[in-house]
Amino acid sequence: MTNILDVQALKTEFRRKNTLIRAVNNISFTIKKGSVLSIVGESGSGKSVTMHSVLRLIPSTGKIVAEKINFMGRDLMRLTEKEMRKIRGDQISMIFQDPMSSLNPTIKIGRQISEVLLWHHKANPKEAKERTIRMLHEVGIASPIERYNQYPFEFSGGMRQRVMIAMALIGEPRLLIADEPTTSLDVTVQAQILALIKKMQEQNKMSVVLITHNLAVATMMADEMIVMYAGQIVEQATKAEFLNRASHPYTVALLGSTPKLNMKERLQSIPGQPPDLKNINLEGCPFVDRCSAKMERCSREEPPAVQLSPTHRIRCWLYT
Amino acid sequence: MWRYILKRIGFIVIALFFVSLITFILIKSAPGNYIETERLITQNLTDVNVPPDVKEAWEKMYHLDKPEWQQFLIFLGNAVKFQFGPSFKYPTKTVENIIVETYPVSLTLAGLAMLLAIVIGIPLGILSAFYKDTLIDRIAIFLSMIGTSIPNYVMAVFLIYILALTLHLVPSIGWGQPVNYVLPVLSLAIGPIGSITRFMRSSLIETLNQEYIKVARAKGGGFIQVVIQHGVRNSLIPLMTVIGPQLAYLSVGTLFVENLFNIPGLGKFYSSAAVYRDYPMVMGTTLFFAGIVMFVNLLVDIVYGLLDPRIRKLDMNRS
């Protein structure tokens, strides 16, 4: 299988006054055509910034450096802003975390969805409207014709997230980035939304990057997994390897802090706080302060990438 | 909606009553009266002593011989019918006639100035917000600060000096030709340009930080789609609340500029009425101006509701 996206040595930094924040610190990964990649990690671990960097959608205080970001044979780093705009929404689209604030409150739902087709000159207004209504129907919104002319405030959270999905899918993108698509929804709606994304992914044969801090959601959807910590990828593996042979102490701890049914013992948590990216220790391993298996060299030397299998890579001194 | 409007109109009536009462007390407690002032200013006489019989007859004519509370009640009774009686200074005309004749002049000045301010202020604010923290933004902020901090009559003098006396582009004085509008409109527009620019900037910066702007960018939108269609649109609604009252204040606040350029607008009559102790004129114009400002504010609130789909739709469902 070929890769749809190949990111090499991506760094994203934000400069605020005199401090440099390394939100994404030298990461590389690939996504195979038609597969689902889940990126997991705590808040602030750089999951979202990574994917926003791929689309070059970060605030102006940020700076993206990468060896290459190869998408379907083109290096996104070398495209002009105008060329990049043609990719956004058309080739790569995004579902955002908060459906309540992601829709423009003063523009009708139908208009906001059909804009994708209109802006990319993929349909005339009449066709765009028809396709939007069909899309609304497809994402499970009842009476789409009336809904087309309604405003976001007339939709519930789950319905708005369906609108966001319709918006992301109507351009038939090759790659869908779903940034915490279910975080702000209640559990029953969560399952519906995820099933919808999965269905659309299979139907359109598109690739999906699912950003989440919910391990259950991540493993349910994914073919491959990436675990991020403090702007770095600490472990990447196939879903089976992740579930059966999770190796990095952080991943192990994450899995240990997931509640299970019929659990008798107290839920474990990872001691300490995620590191402050402003004064992160660049010498050693970023996880060293919270690691249960730390060794002396961990705080002095940066752990190397260790290949446990052709598809399983980890950054930890334990496995050298 | 109708209940709300009626309630607001009720408040306006109460407010107007107090405006009249306060104005009445203030003008009555100011020293001097019309016939004495008129002698001093117009006839250049040094003694203020009017023959007692003349004064008595004059006071009788305007009900000034009655107790003051009665005078106020008479005023109120007529004011309800928008009648303020003849002016002292222009006894052949009633105050309401003067208002109807001269307010359009002030309103035209204010309207043109506002139009200019919108045409310049909105794009300047958009540029400033879009290029936030760059040189363009700094220049725009600087200009708008000058605009809001320099009073229009100072600006007027400055503009006369530059445009009329130095560059000879426009005449400094005169009325009736379109060219005579240039200086007064420019000097009136400077302030609103500043405030519209600043409002547009801060409102758009706030909007551009919204999540839905990022979504619009992720959909592949460029400057027009993202900043204008998704951003400015949402900033224009709150801008209404600035422009409406500003226009009302401006149509009231043209008096310095009208005096300076000798323009026969209501502001000129308003200010001279206060000097001459022209009671009916002062009462009539003050009440009129207060009413205009309050009414425009009400109008803005109603239009605001109509522009915001959340309010509009809710209201339609209820009725």
CA–CA distance, B200 with B117 (Å, rounded to integer): 12
Instruction: Please indicate, yes or no, if residue A142 is contained in any of the structural domains.
Output: no
- Asked whether the beta carbons of B84 and B283 are under 8 A apart, the reply is yes
Tell me the pLDDT tens digit for each residue of A52-94. 999 999 888 899 999 999 999 999 999 999 999 999 999 999 9
Task: Tokens 């500043």: give the residue.
Answer: B194
pLDDT exceeds 90 at position B113: yes
Smallest Cα–Cα separation from A164: which of A129, A136, A184? Answer: A136
Q: At what angle do helices A109-119 and A157-169 cross, to 10 degrees?
A: 10
The per-residue pLDDT for B44 is 67
Least CB–CB distance from A103: residue in B212, B218, B310: B212
Buried/exposed code over B68-96 (b: 16+ C-beta within 10 A; e: otherwise)? eeebbeebeebbeeeebbbbbbeeeebbb
Q: Is A255 within the bounds of a domain?
A: yes
Question: ipTM of the predicted structure?
Answer: 0.87
Q: How far is A98 from chain B (nearest CA, A)?
A: 8
Determine the pLDDT at residue A281. 61
CA distance B9 to chain A (A): 29
The tokens describing A123, both together, are 């349909």
- A232 in a domain, yes or no? yes
As a whole number of angstroms, the distance between CA A62 and CA A277 comes to 14
Residue B197, number of CB atoms within 10 A of its CB: 28
Q: How far apart are CA B217 and CA B222, in angstroms?
A: 7
Q: Is residue A98 one of the residues assigned to a domain?
A: no
Is A312 among the domain residues?
Answer: yes
Q: What is the pLDDT of residues A208-245, one digit of tens each?
A: 999 998 888 898 899 999 999 989 999 999 999 999 99
Distances (CA, A) of A41 to A38, A233, A292: 10, 9, 18
In the block, which residue shows the tokens 């952080």? A250
Identify the band that residue A279 occupies on the pLDDT scale cut at 50, 70 and 90.
low
Whether the CB of A83 is below 8 Å from some CB of chain B: the reply is no
**B218–A105 CB contact, under 8 Å:** no
Helix segments in chain A, DSSP class H: 47-54, 81-87, 109-119, 125-138, 144-148, 157-169, 187-204, 215-221, 239-245, 249-256
Nearest Cα of chain B lies from the Cα of A140 at a distance, in angstroms, of 21
Domain ranges in chain B are 2-95, 100-278+286-318
- What mean pLDDT comes out for the span B130-159? 90
With 80 as the cut, is the pLDDT of residue B36 above it?
no
The whole-number average pLDDT for the span B245-260 is 82
Nearest-Cα residue of chain B relative to residue A151: B309
CB-closest option in B216, B217, B310 to A105: B310
Q: How many domains does chain A have?
A: 1
- Highest mean predicted confidence (pLDDT) among A103-117, A242-256, B42-56, B84-98: A103-117
The answer to whether A55 faces chain B, any CB pair under 8 Å, is yes
User: Which strands sit side by side in the sheet containing A312-315, from one edge to the other?
Assistant: A92-95, A175-179, A207-212, A36-40, A224-229, A232-238, A312-315, A305-309
Q: Which of 1.10.357.10, 1.10.3720.10, 3.40.50.150, 3.40.30.10 is the CATH number of B100-278+286-318? A: 1.10.3720.10
> Could you give the 3-state DSSP secondary structure of residue A219?
helix
**Any idea what the CATH number is for the domain that residue A10 is in?**
3.40.50.300
DSSP SS3 for B276: helix
A97, A101, A102, A108 alpha-carbon torsion, rounded to 10°: 150
Q: Are strands A224-229 and A232-238 parallel, antiparallel or unpaired?
A: antiparallel
| pLDDT at residue A196 in the model | 86
Nearest CA-CA partner of A102 in A172, A62, A152, A146: A152
Listed in sequence order, the residues at least 6 apart from B156 whose beta carbon sits closer than 8 Å to its beta carbon are: B183, B184, B187, B256, B257, B260, B261
Would you call B10 helix, strand, or coil by DSSP? helix
Phi, psi dihedral angles at A212 (to 5 degrees):
-160, 160
The answer to whether residue B87 scores a pLDDT higher than 80 is yes
pLDDT at position A1, please? 62
Contact yes or no for B219 and A119 at CB 8 A:
yes
Per-residue pLDDT, averaged over A165-177, amounts to 92
Name the residue facing B220 among A88, A96, A101 (closest C-beta): A88
Least confident of A190-194, B56-60, B307-311: B307-311
Residue B127, CA distances (Å) to A62, B5, B130, B141, B220 in order = 21, 37, 5, 11, 21
Contact A7, A30 (CB under 8 A): yes
Q: B230 and A107 in contact by Cβ < 8 A?
A: yes
Q: What is the SS3 assignment for A149?
A: coil
Least CB–CB distance from B217: residue in A88, A120, A151: A88
Residue B296 C-beta-side C-alpha neighbours within 13 Å: 19
Residue A84's CB is within 10 A of a number of other CB atoms, namely: 17
- Per DSSP, the three-state class of B147 is helix
Residues of A in contact with B221 (CB under 8 A): 85, 89, 115, 119
Nearest to B295 by CA among B244, B253, B240: B244
Give dist(CA B157, CA B151) in Å, integer: 10
Which conformational region is residue B287 in: left (phi greater than 0), alpha (psi within -120 to 50 degrees), or beta? alpha
**Alpha-carbon distances of A294 from A53, A260, A300, B31, rounded to whole Å:** 32, 27, 11, 90
Residue A260 has pLDDT above 80, yes or no: no
Query: Which residue of A lies nearest to B134 if distances are taken between CA atoms?
Result: A60
Contact B211 A98 (CB under 8 A): yes
Q: Chain B residues within 8 A (CB-CB) of chain A? A: 210-212, 214-222, 225, 230, 233-234, 237, 308-310, 313
Q: Which of B206, B212, B224, B240 should one mutate to test binding to chain A, selecting the residue with the greatest count of A CBs within 10 A?
A: B212
- Torsions phi, psi of B56, nearest 5? -60, -45
* pLDDT at position B48: 66
What is the reported pLDDT for B203? 92
pLDDT (tens digit per residue) in B13-23: 999 999 999 99
Q: Which residues contact B313 (CB under 8 A, 6 or more apart)?
A: A151, A153, A154
Taking the CA of residue B121 and the nearest CA in chain A, the distance in Å comes to 23
0.90 surpassed by pTM: no
What residues of chain A lie within 8 A of the CB of B310, using their CB? Answer: 105, 151, 153
Q: Does A103 touch chain B (CB under 8 A)?
A: yes
Between A188 and B291, name the one with better pLDDT: B291
Domain that holds residue A185: 3-91+173-260+269-319
Contact list, B212 vs chain A (CB under 8 Å): 101-105
Tokens of A29: 């990964």
In whole angstroms, give the CA distance from residue A300 to residue A279.
15
Range B268-279 average pLDDT:
84
Higher pLDDT: B181 or A283? It is B181
Would the pLDDT of B319 be above 50? no
Structural domain includes residue A162: no
Distance from CA of A23 to the nearest CA of B (A): 19
